[in-house]
Amino acid sequence: MSSLKVYNSYSRQKENFEPIVPGHVGMYVCGPTVSGESHLGHARPYITFDVIFRYLIYLGYKVRYVRNITDAGHFEEEGRQAEDKISKKAVIEKLEPMELVQKYTNLFHWAMRKFNTLDPSIEPTATGHIVEQIDMIRKIMADGYAYEANGSVYFDVKKYAEHYPYGKLSGRILEDLIESTRELESQGEKHNWQDFALWKAAPPEHIMRWNSPWGEGFPGWHIECSAMSTKYLGKEFDIHGGGMDLLFPHHESEIAQSTICNKHMPARYWIHNNMITINGKKMGKSYNNVITLTELFSGRNPVLEQAYSPMTIRFFILQTHYRSTLDFSNEALQAAEKGLKRLWEAYGDLQKLEFDPAKKNDAELDAHFTKYCKEFDEFINDDFNTAKVLANMFTLVSSINSFKSGALEKVSLSAQTLDFAKKQFRNYIEDILGLKEENAADQQKLNGVMNLLIDIRKEARSKKDYATSDKIRNQLLEMGILLKDEKDGRVSYVIE
């Protein structure tokens, strides 16, 4: 069997995956900022890394998957006034900051469950690790790579770049950065424009604030991931993941901080997923083109022609390689919906197939099935190419349907091949790709059925055909569905 190869953003090539500690994998993925509702773009990394997590487990690794919750909020760009997005919005909504954070965290978890993602092993919050962050900043200062200014602490990028390969991950050269400064913003209290904040002094109106050796303030954006990944995964761990848009400055800064503090590059393999676009543009708050997950599930957004179920979206994302951009469109989602349905039905049929010794074995067909099923391993090992795995499945779907329709009635797979195919399909569809039966999506259809029954019952009652009306009500009750005649004449139902 082939071995796992992953594309490492740091080296810009595919590398054999070899964990630091045999049999164990530590993986850190940048989690959501819970200052607002998650949108389709956010679904991509968490589904992508869920498949990676699942596959590593499938391979037998003991995986510790750490995905943080950024609940401390970050200050805006230098030059503009520092502001904490979370506390700003909380004032508007008249909520406690932590209340707001809790609300969006819950919503995020709800959506992740809908997507059938496995829970991370640890989901640390930034606000819960202020102490660790302060400790880390102190170490960096003690080493002389950070300086204090008016209660804020900045990382000295220029000094770092003199000793370490700053910019390697994102393909940036410090000199270019200096030259490419488009606007001559005042660098203020920073020594150099490229320096980034480790700690920011909080202005009086800032609600989220903590005591620190440098006065009241809040942590800089990048330090939380360095602190939490170090705490739970160690000074060097296997995989660090996130969206491509985090390459710079976020991950570059993380590398710098951790390298100084821990005397070690934090991660061996950097894995980045590409963006989801809409009309060719990245989906993002600043472009004002987001479709939130609740809108997607309910269809309540003007650009949506219909609601799309979580599994449709998961499948849609898996049909593309994670490092390619993926453009949203109703047409593409609808194609995914139909494709998933076809795959799922054939999968069910396959599991029901029984070996029939009375039928003639077709060696060629046997080889065909074996080859295509074996290739699942090869493709997923090739930098998690879920698109190719799915393509192979669809090729076999035709054959499976042929068994069912009778076109291949006269022949049969060998017991061994059938068994292998069943196993591979189950392992990949359910365990690795994380697809599941979608009862929730059928809720709408159930509604239609119920309304039909309710109408029939109404008609029967109006004709005093109580035998029929009672039959409907009583039999539904036996199934656990209670019809309720409301006072205003409407009929509702409850599933018990």
Partner RNA sequence: GGCCACGUGGCCGAGCGGCUAGGCGUAGGUCUGCAAAACCUUUUUACAGCGGUUCGAAUCCGCUCGUGGCCUCCA
In the bound state with RNA, the residue whose beta carbon lies nearer, of 407 and 446, is: 407
Helix, coil or strand: residue 200: strand
Which residues make beta-bridge pairs with 240? Answer: 28, 270
391 near RNA (CB under 7 A): yes
Residue from 62, 263, 281, 300 touching RNA (CB under 7 A): that is 281
Pick between residue 170 and residue 212 the one whose CB is nearest to RNA.
170
Q: Contacts with RNA in 222-251 (CB under 7 A)? A: 242-250
CB 482, min distance to RNA, A: 30
For residues 290 and 270, what is the distance between their CA atoms, to the nearest angstrom? 27
Judged by CB under 7 A, which of 338, 423, 471, 484 binds RNA?
Answer: 338
Burial class (CB in 10 A: 0-12, 13-18, 19+), 264: middle
If one asks whether residue 44 binds RNA (CB under 7 A), the answer comes out as yes
> According to the binding rule CB under 7 A, does residue 387 interact with RNA?
yes
CB of 50 to RNA, least distance (A): 13
Contact call for residue 285 and RNA (CB under 7 A): yes
Least separation in angstroms between residue 175's CB and RNA is 9
Q: Does the protein bind RNA through residue 287 (CB under 7 A)? A: yes
Measured from the CB atom, the residue of 73 and 469 that comes closer to RNA is 73
Smallest separation (angstroms) from RNA to the CB of 358: 22
Residue whose CB is less far from RNA, 262 or 401: 401
In angstroms, what is the minimal distance from the CB of 227 to RNA? 15
User: Binding to RNA by residue 407, rule CB under 7 A?
Assistant: yes
User: Under the criterion CB under 7 A, does residue 187 sit at the interface with RNA?
Assistant: no
411 contacts RNA (rule: CB under 7 A) = no
User: Which window, 70-78, 145-153, 260-268, 306-314, contacts RNA (CB under 7 A)?
Assistant: 70-78
288 near RNA, judged by CB under 7 A: no
| Smaller CB separation from RNA, 410 or 490 | 410
The residue ranges of DSSP E strands in 167-283, in sequence order, are 196-201, 217-219, 237-243, 267-273, 276-278, 281-282
**Phi and psi at residue 454, to the nearest 5°:** -65, -40
Cβ nearer to RNA, comparing 87 with 170: 170
Kindly state the smallest distance separating residue 121's Cβ from RNA, in Å.
19
Our CB check for RNA shows the closer of 61 and 379 to be 379
Under the binding rule (CB under 7 A), the answer on residue 76 touching RNA is yes
Q: Which of 231, 404, 422, 436 binds RNA (CB under 7 A)?
A: 404
Q: Token pair for residue 271?
A: 């894995």
* DSSP track, 119-178: PPSB--BSGGGHHHHHHHHHHHHHTTSEEEETTEEEE-HHHHHHHS-TTTTTT--HHHHH
Told to check if 171 binds RNA by CB under 7 A, we report: yes
Task: Tell whether residue 341 is a contact of RNA (CB under 7 A).
Answer: yes
Residue 249 DSSP SS3: helix
Q: Which of 320, 330, 329, 323 is nearest to 278 (CA)?
A: 329
The secondary structure of residue 210, as a DSSP letter, is: B
The whole-angstrom separation of Cα 193 and Cα 490 is 67
Cross-strand pairs, 16: 5
Binder among 139, 209, 264, 342 for RNA (CB under 7 A): 342
Stretch that binds RNA, among 89-97, 133-141, 294-302, 384-392 (CB under 7 A): 384-392
142 exposure class (CB count in 10 Å sphere: 0-12, 13-18, 19+): exposed
Residue type, 493: Y
Question: Order of strands across the sheet with 62-67?
Answer: 62-67, 24-29, 237-243, 267-273
- What one-character-per-residue DSSP string does 44-105 give? HHHHHHHHHHHHHHHTT-EEEEEE-BB-S-----TTSPP--HHHHHHHHHT--HHHHHHHHH
Contacts of RNA in 6-25 (CB under 7 A): 12
Q: Would you count residue 2 as binding RNA (CB under 7 A)? A: no
Q: Are 115 and 314 in contact (CB under 8 A)?
A: yes
Q: Does 443 bind RNA (CB under 7 A)?
A: no
Residue 466 CB, nearest distance to RNA (Å)? 27
Q: Any contact of residue 412 with RNA (CB under 7 A)?
A: no
Number of residues that bind RNA (CB under 7 A): 78
Element (DSSP H or E) covering residue 13: strand 13-16
Which residues, in sequence order, are bridge partners of residue 125? 69
**Polymer length of the chain:** 496
Using rule CB under 7 A, residue 128 touches RNA = no
- Contact pick of 77, 354, 478, 488 for RNA (by CB under 7 A): 77
Tokens, residue 246: 């985090």
Binding mask 292-331 for RNA (x = CB under 7 A): ---------------------------xxx--xxxx-x-x
Q: Is 7 helix (H, G, I), strand (E, B) or coil?
A: strand
Query: Which is nearer to RNA, 329 or 443 (by Cβ)?
Result: 329
| Calpha distance 246→243 (Å, rounded) | 6
- Minimum Å distance from CB 489 to RNA? 31
- The footprint of RNA on residues 202-221 (CB under 7 A) is 221
